[in-house]
């Protein structure tokens, strides 16, 4: 099953490589990865999605935790949590028709750029529904696509902070 892990990691050169390397080294896959510094920029927050049963994810979590630069790791999937992903889409203006717009209305979205030939859209939603949305589109209508990867957070009172 899909798992979403949140990692707080020192914002140091090579720290990201250690995490990515670990997944490869231990035979796990990264489905998506998002990372950026937060707060005082001394550390970064990372969201990694991967596949695996409980034992596998427990082992991944422990191995990540063992890295010296890692401050905290949490398996968001263990409890209730928020997950969101942002997508940039470039399509031809011709394709930006009623059918397309009908599909789009289920998502938070906005038009970033529009002219006679090109429309660039920003679309937000959870990763699974974004997957479904993209699958429903005619592949030929998509010129370019960029996904942020999932970012996540525990719900309400549970916090992941240092």
Interface residue list for another protein (CB under 8 A): 9-10, 13-14, 17-18, 21-22, 25, 55, 58-59, 62-63, 65-66, 68-71, 162
- What is the smallest separation between the CB atom of 131 and another protein, expressed in angstroms? 32
Lookup result for tokens 């696509």: 145
Kindly tell me which of 42 and 99 has the beta carbon lying closer to another protein.
42
- What is the smallest separation between the CB atom of 2 and another protein, expressed in angstroms? 22
- What is the smallest separation between the CB atom of 46 and another protein, expressed in angstroms? 13
Is 74 in a helix, a strand, or coil? strand
CB proximity list for 43: less than 8 A, separation 6 or greater: 8, 9, 10, 11, 37, 71, 162
- What is the smallest separation between the CB atom of 41 and another protein, expressed in angstroms? 15
User: How many Cβ atoms are within 10 Å of 151's Cβ, its own excluded?
Assistant: 20
Kindly tell me which of 66 and 101 has the beta carbon lying closer to another protein.
66
CA atoms of 117 and 30, how far apart (whole Å): 36
Kindly tell me which of 72 and 109 has the beta carbon lying closer to another protein.
72
- What is the smallest separation between the CB atom of 18 and another protein, expressed in angstroms? 6
- Rounded to 5°, angle at Cα 146 from 50 and 14: 55
Kindly tell me which of 55 and 156 has the beta carbon lying closer to another protein.
55
CA atoms of 124 and 83, how far apart (whole Å): 10
Lookup result for tokens 């990763």: 127
Kindly tell me which of 9 and 121 has the beta carbon lying closer to another protein.
9
């Amino acid at each position: 099953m899909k798992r979403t892990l949140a990692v707080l990691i020192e914002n140091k050169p090579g720290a990201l490589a250690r995490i990515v390397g670990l997944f490869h080294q231990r035979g796990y896959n990264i489905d998506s990865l998002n990372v950026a510094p937060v707060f005082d920029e001394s550390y970064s927050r990372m969201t990694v999605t991967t596949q695996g049963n409980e034992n596998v994810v427990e082992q991944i979590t422990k191995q990540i935790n063992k890295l010296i630069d890692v401050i905290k790791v949490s398996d968001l999937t263990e409890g209730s949590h928020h997950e969101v992903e942002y997508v940039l889409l470039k399509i031809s203006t011709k394709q930006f028709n009623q059918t397309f717009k009908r599909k789009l209305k289920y998502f938070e979205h906005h038009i970033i750029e529009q002219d006679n030939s090109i429309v660039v859209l920003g679309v937000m939603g959870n990763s699974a529904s974004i997957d479904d949305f993209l699958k429903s589109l005619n592949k030929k209508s998509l010129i370019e696509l960029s996904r942020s990867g999932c970012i996540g957070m525990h719900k309400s009172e549970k916090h992941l902070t240092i």
